[in-house]
């Protein structure tokens, strides 16, 4: 795992977007959307992200770790809270550079490190707050458990953990079909699970689940686009999509899939706490 100095980052005009060099027809869906200018790539949109941040109650004394920050939109919101420390762990170097744009060049308390969420090499109890969005859904069941266990190791007793992911509905007979359909559409394996299974994963790792909130999975619907991106951002996205045939085909395919699966999937944000150690321990 390495850390690159912030001043090595290219300007936004020169940056290489994640997915560079991959055929659009085979590119993971979230990077197709990002290349068209979509900034909010979370299943429940900006509203569910805001609920998650508010529930974490990030303050100026907090040491925050974010797994897989993506385009860095949530990092911006968290940095506005002025936490004592912010560390992002990102496997993709291009994505890491996108997040570095939001960091103060001279502030060593804000950094992005290249590494994996299941083995960060960061010290025990390095964080009071840790969160992840739109990443656990795309990990295998084994790696997902490893990531949650790593989060538990990194958090101090009493530390808060939150996720923003995709949940399956209660129709267990449809689960395999839903996973295969989503995987085929976005060109990335996905493993969403029902709400009770998400809660169970965190409880099994030692967390106490405090609360959770659901939202419709309407990522590519016009009204949601405008709420997430603003009117100008939504129009910019549509304009780019209309002039780029391969990207347009991918976006329309993903939207058809999300609409077809609407009864079976939703967004979920879950907040959990690492229990405090017993006073007599």
Query: What CATH number does the domain containing 194 carry?
Result: 3.40.50.150
Report yes or no on 1 lying in a domain: no
CA gap 74, 63 in Å, rounded: 16
Report yes or no on 11 lying in a domain: no
Domain span at 225: 21-273
Report yes or no on 6 lying in a domain: no
Which whole-number Å values give the CA distances from 165 to 64, 131, 135, 168, 194, in the listed order? 19, 11, 7, 10, 11
Which whole-number Å values give the CA distances from 107 to 87, 154, 195, in the listed order? 12, 22, 39
| Structure tokens, 40 | 């909010």
- Cβ atoms < 10 Å from Cβ of 46: 18
pTM of the complete model beyond 0.85? yes
Report yes or no on 12 lying in a domain: no
Report yes or no on 29 lying in a domain: yes
Report yes or no on 55 lying in a domain: yes
Q: Angle of helix 45-56 relative to helix 222-243, nearest 10 degrees?
A: 130
Which whole-number Å values give the CA distances from 121 to 35, 68, 90, 118, in the listed order? 31, 15, 13, 9
CA gap 182, 184 in Å, rounded: 5
Measured in Å, how far apart are the chain's first and last C-alpha atoms? 34
Q: Walk along the chain (281 residues) in steps of 10 and give the mean pLDDT of each run.
A: 36 51 86 92 94 96 94 89 94 81 74 92 96 95 96 97 95 91 94 96 97 95 95 96 94 96 96 80 43
How many structural domains is the chain composed of? 1
């Amino acid at each position: 795992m390495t850390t690159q100095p912030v001043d090595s980052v290219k300007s936004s005009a020169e940056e290489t977007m994640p997915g560079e060099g991959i055929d659009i027809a085979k590119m993971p869906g979230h990077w197709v959307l990002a290349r068209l200018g979509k900034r909010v790539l979370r299943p429940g949109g900006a509203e569910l992200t805001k609920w998650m941040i508010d529930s974490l109650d990030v303050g100026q004394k907090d040491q925050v770790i974010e797994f897989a920050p993506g385009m860095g939109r949530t990092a911006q919101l968290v940095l506005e809270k002025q936490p004592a420390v912010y560390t992002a762990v990102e496997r993709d170097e291009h994505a890491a550079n996108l997040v570095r744009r939001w960091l103060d060049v001279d502030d060593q308390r804000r950094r992005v490190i290249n590494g994996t969420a299941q083995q960060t090499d960061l010290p025990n109890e390095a964080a009071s707050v840790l969160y992840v969005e739109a990443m656990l859904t795309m990990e295998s069941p084994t790696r997902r458990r490893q990531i949650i266990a790593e989060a538990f190791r990194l958090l101090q007793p009493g530390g808060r953990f939150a996720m923003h992911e995709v949940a399956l509905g209660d129709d267990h007979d449809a689960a395999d079909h839903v996973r295969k359909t989503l995987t085929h559409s976005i060109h990335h394996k996905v493993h969403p699970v029902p709400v009770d299974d998400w809660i169970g994963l965190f409880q099994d790792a030692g967390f106490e689940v405090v609360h959770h909130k659901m939202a419709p999975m309407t990522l590519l619907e016009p009204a949601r686009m405008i709420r997430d991106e603003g009117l100008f951002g939504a129009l910019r996205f549509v304009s780019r999509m209309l002039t780029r045939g391969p990207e347009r085909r991918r976006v329309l395919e993903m939207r058809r899939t999300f609409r077809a699966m609407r009864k079976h999937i939703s967004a979920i944000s879950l907040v959990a706490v690492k229990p405090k150690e017993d006073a007599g321990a």
